[in-house]
């Protein structure tokens, strides 16, 4: 589990066969994105799953740092042969993904039980 304390975010990991999903809850901003980046990259590098999901259902705030977090994990997944997908984005997360046009090239799965 990602340490909650100084940042207003928590990350938990769920494995389902060879699929790994990181559930992010709280705020994704410039204070939390750097630590989250290290944590998520470690998951991707250690597990190297065929599919890596970011469950954004618990995200309460997301700014451009959140976009950078998602885009960087897309590149990281590509480097290890994983497919990145977004699971159940909150209204806040989905709005910024749509504004940036990322919903056009990211796989977004809604209504998925993780």
CATH at residue 31: 3.30.750.24
pTM: 0.90
Q: Is residue 88 part of a domain?
A: yes
- For the segment 7-57, what is each residue's pLDDT rounded down to a tens digit? 689 999 999 888 999 999 999 998 899 999 999 999 999 999 999 999 999
At 20, which helix (H) or strand (E)? strand 19-28
The span from the CA of 105 to the CA of 12, in Å, is 25
In the chain, the number of structural domains is 1
Q: Is the dihedral of CA 67, 68, 71, 76 positive or negative?
A: negative
What DSSP designation does 8 have?
S
Assess contact for 106 and 84: CB atoms under 8 A.
Answer: yes
Point out which residues pair with 28 in neighbouring strands: 62
- Identify the three-state secondary structure at position 102: helix
- For the segment 57-84, what is each residue's pLDDT rounded down to a tens digit? 999 999 999 999 999 999 999 999 999 9
The span from the CA of 51 to the CA of 1, in Å, is 20
Q: Is residue 2 part of a domain?
A: no
Q: Is residue 4 part of a domain?
A: no
Tokens of 54: 């970011």
Residue 113: pLDDT band with limits 50, 70, 90: confident
Residue 103: pLDDT band with limits 50, 70, 90: confident
Domain with 27, as residue range(s), is 9-109
Strand order in the sheet with 83-87: 9-16, 19-28, 51-62, 83-87, 107-109
Q: Is residue 96 part of a domain?
A: yes
């Amino acid at each position: 589990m990602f340490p909650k304390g100084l940042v207003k975010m928590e990350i938990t990991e769920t494995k389902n066969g060879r699929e790994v999903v990181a559930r992010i809850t709280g705020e994704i901003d410039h204070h939390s994105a750097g630590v989250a980046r290290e944590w998520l990259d470690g998951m991707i590098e250690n597990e190297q799953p065929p599919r890596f999901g970011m469950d954004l259902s618990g995200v309460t705030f997301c700014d451009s740092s959140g976009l950078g977090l998602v885009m960087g994990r897309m590149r990281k997944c590509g480097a290890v042969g994983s497919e990145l997908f977004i699971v159940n984005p909150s209204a806040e997360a989905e709005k910024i993904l749509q504004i940036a046009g990322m919903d056009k090239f990211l796989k977004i799965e809604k209504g998925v039980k993780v």
